[in-house]
Structure 1
Amino acid sequence: MLVMCRGRRKFLLASLALVFIPTLTWLYLSVGGFQVKPLPLSPLEVQAPTVSGGGGERQALELRVRAVEEENRALRRELSQAPRSQPAHAPYAGHRGNQSRAHSEEGTGDNEVQRAAAVGNNSDCVQQPVVDKCETIHVAIVCAGYNASRDVVTLVKSVLFHRYGLSSLSILILNTEVSFDIIVHPWSRFCRRRRQQVLGLVENQSDWYLGNLWKNHRPWPALGRGFNTGVILLLLDRLRKLRWEQMWRLTAERELMSMLSTSLADQDIFNAVIKQNPFLVHQLPCFWNVQLSDHTRSEKCYKDVSDLKVIHWNSPKKLRVKNKHVEFFRNLYLTFLEYDGNLLRRELFGCPSEADHNSENLQKTLSELDEDDPCYEFRRERFTVHRTHLYFLHYEYEASVDNTDVTLVAQLSMDRLQMLEAICKHWEGPISLALYLSDAEAQQFLRYAQGSEVLMSRGNVGYHIVYKEGQFYPVNLLRNVAMRQVNTPYMFLSDIDFLPMYGLYEYLRKSVVQLDMANTKKALVVPAFETLRYRLSYPKSKAELLSQLDMGSLFSFRYHVWTKGHAPTNFAKWRTATTPYRVQWEADFEPYVMVRRDSPEYDRRFVGFGWNKVAHIMELDAQEYEFVVLPNAFMIHMPHAPSFDITKFRSNKQYRVCLKTLKEEFQQNMSRRYGFAALKYMTADNNS
């Protein structure tokens, strides 16, 4: 599936983008007098799925899939036995009302034509065997920026949920504001049209192109009511032969001389071309693009929701349009919005990915793991492939001219969301955050962020959603995701429950120059402190921090439970230091550091609690990074309830045993990679 996010706000996400009608713009499948029995929309008609991701939901979905597959097999058997000499203009079965003209013709499906549309080969319609359920389908989706990239996730869920009905599709162009239903042989009628017909489109259902919406309303030229481009069926090889690229470009340049700009983006250009070349279009039945707004004739396209194939929420009001079925559509949309996307993964349908060597290697690796190993779940977690949505919200960044810019990197889950506003107030520079959330939590986060003036005022914060899967919190995977999206020369590797001192961003940028970070391998250490008070008068200077240390309202970080983690920072020396000073690596050292963007990533084998930062600092030391403590920098850990993973670490002996095993394996790997230089890691007294 190809998703193209462009800068135009065609945003349709639509509301159903999701479940219900695979916006694949194609027609039913009707051969002669054979009637296609409409398949039920989805199990949602009976009972909306929950978002818990539990076994019951998966079982229900599997039962649904098997039932539809069996129904499709029966349908294919009947089609293969149907007579081929049926009249070419028999009534199109299964549809009603004002659709009679659009349904007056029918044709046979053609898998070869669909392949030709995708690769530009011969597109003559020849009867071919029914395609296999695992045939690859290419879908192109046009979306508009960060908002539409979120919306397209729901659309894709809709496509995947109904993919068992998509066999024999080839190329379809969609907008994010459309929604899907079941598709069966959508090319069957289109491929029989005259050879000049290369576009399959539904007539526009509003009065926009009639030019009478308001005084001096002047739309682009269109044929009658014009055509809506929310759903487009293309015969690519024929378009190329017609020199489509030159055709639309010349038309657009000519019209822009008088129109100056488009009102409806590409739709205006399509209609201007069609106005001059009406032979290009095969008009699709309107139920393949039911356009919902307050001023359309969409309800004339159907009598019941079971007639619908594609829902297009093309009104700026989206879910608030006037339609007798709007509540039904809204509920379907909201269901898929928070639907657990992990349930829609490939394995559920038994369709292997073609030429997917990474997938094959992954399956081979997993099969080699010993399921009887007490640490099997830990080892398996390292190879889990998580769904990831980069830049969930709008992001803007302008590179600094002096190449000293620094991005704060952190990761979090839903229970740390309250820290975001505080961090944004303490750090004015760019931030890259990886959030570990379920589909439902991602929507909660969206509402939280959009309701926050602090977060919405910041465009230089990149939010990257990693969707939940597995038993453990993949802390180092999350860090790596956030690190990979850093687009500044340097990054400050922090944690979400730390507040950096005011002005740390500018201080680190000055330190880049002072310590020649561009030409040396240094890790600049920011000393870490903590408070046990939920309300703290945050120190505005080092002097204030030292005063609070003396009064007992602040402490060096983890001094009472894990002294070794930060002891090499040498807090006693830091109290009086006025210049940066170098410290040596020691066992279990895990400071918070600023490094260059090209520094090593974190080791994914460490999940949950324990040794995740220790291993990374060891890697830096093995690569001969110098650890330099900054004399006027600090950060403070804010109190919070214990995480679920630290609770498991403290209460579960097997958890601690497995962590120790993983640590020893990591040290052995270090020895093999770095040779004699890594001997100290094997002999160090690492009692973690």
Structure 2
Amino acid sequence: MQAPGIPKILIGNRLHLEFRRQISRNYAEHFAGKRNMEYFEVSPLASFNVRESLTELSRLVLMRNGMERLWKSSKGFHMNKRSHTMENRFSFSEWAENQWTSESMKRKKTEVNCEVVHVAVICCGSSAVRSLVVMLKSILLHRRRPLHLHLVTDTVRSQNVLSHLLDTWNVTSLDFSIYLSTNFSMDVAWIPTFHHSSLSGLLKLTVPSILPQNLKKVILLDTDLIFLSDIGSLWDMFELFNSEQCLGIAENLSNWYLRKQISGKLSRWPAKGTGFNTGVVLMDLETLRVLSWTSLYTQITKEQLKIINATQLGDQDVVNAIIKQYPEFVFQLPCVYNFQLVHVHETIPCSTLVSDIKVLHFNSRKKYREATDFAHSLLVRYQYFDEMSGSYLRHNFMECTDLATNSYAVSDNVDVSLVTHLTIERLPLLEKFLSRWRGPASVSLYVSDTEAYRFIQFLKRNRWLNRDDVAFHIVYREGALYPVNKLRNVALDQVVTAYVFLTDVDFIPVENLYEMLIKAIRNEGNLNNRALIVPVFETFKYDLDYPKTKSELLKMLDNEEVFIFKQRVFPAGHKETDFHRWRNAKLPYKVNWRMNFEPYIVVRSDVVRYDTRFVGYGWNKMSHIMKLHFIGYEFIVLPHVFIVHSPHLISSENTMYRGSQQYRRCMNALKIEFMQELHKRYPQNHNRIVEMPHNSTK
């Protein structure tokens, strides 16, 4: 009998009690007195598997109090007040701490299996990268074993982005390999398909050929998945395979393959029953190679194309056609390892409790825009992982060896990229800059996880920011000070052009700056140990119609609508640009470096990187210019280009610098340390550094 007050949840066409009596008793003592506790109630919006995930949450709450906030906001767990009274209440933090320190948890931690779990993902395009990030967060949060990612992408640029992304996450026991699909795409490019994933979906068929031949097994995943449990339990399913089984795959939960005909014509590829869904596939690579997998799918696909002229579901149609002929190849995974969102619209059920779901698959065409209440309850998980701080993932709960990562070089082209950085409140300034910058841009965005989620939504609707040639690199907020030079390096590392314009975001450029810089680079040569200076001005008017040409700028300069940048508060920063000479210059001219010089420059993209010890306000750009000077760079002022600084509120770092004597002392000590290091590293050029004034306030 159903206990009074316990809600029922509809899954497919079956009704299930969310928790049975024996489940409730395991956890009742942590939330209420044993005498009055009969049942433990879970609402339809429950966000985690209580049987397994409470243990996970118990360890995670010790990392950051953000997990406790999630617990409170999920509305997932509450007592039935109509039937029971609450006694001896435990807070979640108390319960979690008790669980973490219990002997059972200690034993579980020491019994971790350190076998490496290999995961393969086809990741082509920027949207796939974003989905991949969310899925990886969910995997890394729950996993208890080392992980090796095998990522297949279609361009060198994507290869570089993925490599840098994973390299900078700094996650323990995570290794990765990235493969270009170029040499394998022709193996499937001949297969016509109507599926929205196009060639990238069909590339999943080539995974046994792409991956190293000594790799024996791998879990192949789509990017639109969320893991709610340890991926190691899925990996362990390989142990249940018999000698003939080479594909571990769950049932397709929609009735797609049951609708065989439309208007009397065969409209579906063959499948066994409802078919199988290829969003999660355990591949025994060793057995697949023995079976000559490439020849097998090629032969069967050609046979089916004689009947139906294209695939509707890409690789899934091909795999199902193979399984139809060779059902002995399949080990059927429980549906909890591939709970498909499209299932909520169908009558064919996955006979499981909501709380038992281990892998969510957002395979509906609506993806993350589902409007049904049930789908919305599942979206809670997606939104959590989307907004979750990546710093959680750096905590290692395994006693396994950390693994290495790889990096890749960028290509070299005659082009120039804007390189800049910002926080989310300065996006309007970036919009203004990009309205006049027609070239590529590499932008580091320093945000919290919540801000990152909102930014992605904002980006889709923004005309100036949502450009194919503008790349945003999200750096998650950590610490009190703005890591300005780290952000510059992140953006600089991601450019794919030979030259870069290094600037801050709060400027408006001359009209056609991009084209003018391209011309200047061609005139000056390859810029080996040379930096081109873009003169900088400022205005204090918020409603200024910014000058588009040098002649317009000079008029505004004479009318005191614009001024030489910081000439009143810190003239040393740009004095060496020699604005008097620039006013009448027709050709580029060379200038000398002086202490505190901090121009905005165009250089080769392989320029020495910024010193990341300089954070917050002060000497972050000067230190870089000084190092360039010490290396032997020449500085050349361009006569027809300029940027104008837009007025904005003073940053908190600037306020802190001006208001704290201790802050300035620390900065001065770091400057001295930096200069001493330059002396040691370049002893032959020690005469290039002048003595730094002790009363410097910059």
Using the size of structure 2 for normalisation, the TM-score is 0.72
Deviation at 1:626, TM superposition (A): 1.3
* Equivalent position to 1:179, from 221, 226, 237: 226
> In structure 1, what is the Cα distance between the partners aligned to 2:350 and 2:613?
55
User: What amino acid does structure 2 have at the position aligned with 1:151?
Assistant: S
Say whether 1:39 aligns with 2:67. Answer: no
Partner in structure 2 of residue 679 of structure 1: 687
> In structure 2, what is the Cα distance between the partners aligned to 1:345 and 1:607?
22
User: What amino acid does structure 2 have at the position aligned with 1:555?
Assistant: F
Partner in structure 2 of residue 512 of structure 1: 521
Partner in structure 2 of residue 67 of structure 1: 99
User: What amino acid does structure 2 have at the position aligned with 1:315?
Assistant: S
Partner in structure 2 of residue 205 of structure 1: 253
Deviation at 1:165, TM superposition (A): 9.0
Say whether 1:565 aligns with 2:614. Answer: no
* Runs of 5+ consecutive residues of structure 1 not aligned to the other structure: 1-36, 78-129, 359-387, 391-396
> Which secondary structure state, in structure 1, belongs to the residue aligned with residue 342 of structure 2?
coil
Say whether 1:632 aligns with 2:640. Answer: yes
Partner in structure 1 of residue 561 of structure 2: 553
Partner in structure 2 of residue 248 of structure 1: 297
Partner in structure 2 of residue 463 of structure 1: 472
> In structure 2, what is the Cα distance between the partners aligned to 1:181 and 1:498?
45
> Which secondary structure state, in structure 1, belongs to the residue aligned with residue 531 of structure 2?
strand
Change in Cα spacing, 1:256 to 1:654, as seen in structure 2 (3 Å) is: farther
- Aligned residue runs from structure 1 range 122-133, under 5 A: 132=112
| Deviates further, 623-632 or 260-269 | 260-269
Cα deviation digits, residues 559-595 of structure 1 (max 9, x gap)? 1111100000011111111111110001110000111
Say whether 1:153 aligns with 2:133. Answer: yes
Deviation at 1:42, TM superposition (A): 4.2
Say whether 1:540 aligns with 2:548. Answer: yes
Cα deviation digits, residues 472-514 of structure 1 (max 9, x gap)? 2111111111111111121111111111111111111111122
User: What amino acid does structure 2 have at the position aligned with 1:437?
Assistant: V
Partner in structure 1 of residue 366 of structure 2: 317
User: What amino acid does structure 1 have at the position aligned with 2:141?
Assistant: F
> Which secondary structure state, in structure 1, belongs to the residue aligned with residue 318 of structure 2?
helix
* Equivalent position to 2:383, from 321, 327, 334: 334
Change in Cα spacing, 1:469 to 1:268, as seen in structure 2 (3 Å) is: same
User: What amino acid does structure 2 have at the position aligned with 1:179?
Assistant: I
Instruction: Confirm or deny: 8 A CA contact 1:203 1:286 kept in the other structure.
Output: yes
Say whether 1:439 aligns with 2:449. Answer: yes
> In structure 2, what is the Cα distance between the partners aligned to 1:244 and 1:65?
50
Change in Cα spacing, 1:137 to 1:225, as seen in structure 2 (3 Å) is: same
Deviation at 1:404, TM superposition (A): 3.8
Instruction: Confirm or deny: 8 A CA contact 1:50 1:57 kept in the other structure.
Output: no
User: What amino acid does structure 2 have at the position aligned with 1:329?
Assistant: L
> In structure 2, what is the Cα distance between the partners aligned to 1:62 and 1:679?
63
Change in Cα spacing, 1:418 to 1:42, as seen in structure 2 (3 Å) is: farther
* Equivalent position to 2:503, from 494, 519, 528: 494
Cα deviation digits, residues 302-335 of structure 1 (max 9, x gap)? 3531132222121111244476632321222222
- Aligned residue runs from structure 1 range 374-523, under 5 A: 404-456=414-466, 458-516=467-525, 518=526, 520-523=528-531
* Equivalent position to 2:143, from 154, 163, 167: 163
| Deviates further, 461-470 or 280-289 | 280-289
> Which secondary structure state, in structure 2, belongs to the residue aligned with residue 354 of structure 1?
coil
> In structure 2, what is the Cα distance between the partners aligned to 1:651 and 1:425?
36
> In structure 2, what is the Cα distance between the partners aligned to 1:490 and 1:411?
17
> In structure 2, what is the Cα distance between the partners aligned to 1:488 and 1:262?
39
Aligned length: 558
Instruction: Confirm or deny: 8 A CA contact 1:69 1:164 kept in the other structure.
Output: no
Instruction: Confirm or deny: 8 A CA contact 1:207 1:213 kept in the other structure.
Output: no
* Equivalent position to 2:650, from 630, 639, 642: 642
> Which secondary structure state, in structure 2, belongs to the residue aligned with residue 491 of structure 1?
strand
User: What amino acid does structure 1 have at the position aligned with 2:221?
Assistant: L
> In structure 2, what is the Cα distance between the partners aligned to 1:610 and 1:217?
71
| Deviates further, 595-604 or 171-180 | 171-180
Deviation at 1:611, TM superposition (A): 0.7
Instruction: Confirm or deny: 8 A CA contact 1:668 1:682 kept in the other structure.
Output: no
> In structure 2, what is the Cα distance between the partners aligned to 1:340 and 1:664?
35
* Equivalent position to 2:604, from 563, 576, 596: 596
Instruction: Confirm or deny: 8 A CA contact 2:630 2:688 kept in the other structure.
Output: no
| Deviates further, 186-195 or 507-516 | 186-195
> In structure 1, what is the Cα distance between the partners aligned to 2:682 and 2:100?
56
> In structure 2, what is the Cα distance between the partners aligned to 1:474 and 1:490?
23
Deviation at 1:138, TM superposition (A): 2.6
> In structure 2, what is the Cα distance between the partners aligned to 1:181 and 1:562?
55
> In structure 2, what is the Cα distance between the partners aligned to 1:161 and 1:626?
49
Instruction: Confirm or deny: 8 A CA contact 2:444 2:487 kept in the other structure.
Output: yes
Instruction: Confirm or deny: 8 A CA contact 2:219 2:235 kept in the other structure.
Output: no
> In structure 2, what is the Cα distance between the partners aligned to 1:167 and 1:523?
43
- Aligned residue runs from structure 1 range 293-312, under 5 A: 293=342, 297=346, 300-302=349-351, 304-312=353-361
Cα deviation digits, residues 118-174 of structure 1 (max 9, x gap)? xxxxxxxxxxxx952555433333444211211222222222222249999974222
Partner in structure 1 of residue 402 of structure 2: 354
> In structure 2, what is the Cα distance between the partners aligned to 1:279 and 1:55?
44
> In structure 1, what is the Cα distance between the partners aligned to 2:660 and 2:226?
46
> In structure 2, what is the Cα distance between the partners aligned to 1:434 and 1:492?
14
Instruction: Confirm or deny: 8 A CA contact 1:222 1:274 kept in the other structure.
Output: yes
* Equivalent position to 1:281, from 330, 339, 342: 330
Deviation at 1:210, TM superposition (A): 2.8
> In structure 1, what is the Cα distance between the partners aligned to 2:226 and 2:553?
56
Instruction: Confirm or deny: 8 A CA contact 1:49 1:335 kept in the other structure.
Output: no
> Which secondary structure state, in structure 1, belongs to the residue aligned with residue 682 of structure 2?
helix
Partner in structure 2 of residue 393 of structure 1: none
> In structure 2, what is the Cα distance between the partners aligned to 1:49 and 1:530?
48
Deviation at 1:682, TM superposition (A): 4.6
Using the size of structure 1 for normalisation, the TM-score is 0.73
Change in Cα spacing, 1:404 to 1:142, as seen in structure 2 (3 Å) is: closer
> In structure 2, what is the Cα distance between the partners aligned to 1:320 and 1:531?
44
> In structure 2, what is the Cα distance between the partners aligned to 1:311 and 1:453?
33
> In structure 2, what is the Cα distance between the partners aligned to 1:610 and 1:62?
44
Instruction: Confirm or deny: 8 A CA contact 1:53 1:340 kept in the other structure.
Output: no
Change in Cα spacing, 1:302 to 1:324, as seen in structure 2 (3 Å) is: farther
Deviation at 1:436, TM superposition (A): 0.9
The RMSD of aligned alpha carbons is 3.7
Partner in structure 1 of residue 41 of structure 2: none
Instruction: Confirm or deny: 8 A CA contact 1:528 1:556 kept in the other structure.
Output: yes
Partner in structure 1 of residue 285 of structure 2: 236
User: What amino acid does structure 1 have at the position aligned with 2:622?
Assistant: V
Change in Cα spacing, 1:71 to 1:282, as seen in structure 2 (3 Å) is: farther
Deviation at 1:658, TM superposition (A): 1.1
> Which secondary structure state, in structure 1, belongs to the residue aligned with residue 465 of structure 2?
helix
> Which secondary structure state, in structure 2, belongs to the residue aligned with residue 232 of structure 1?
strand
> In structure 2, what is the Cα distance between the partners aligned to 1:65 and 1:265?
47
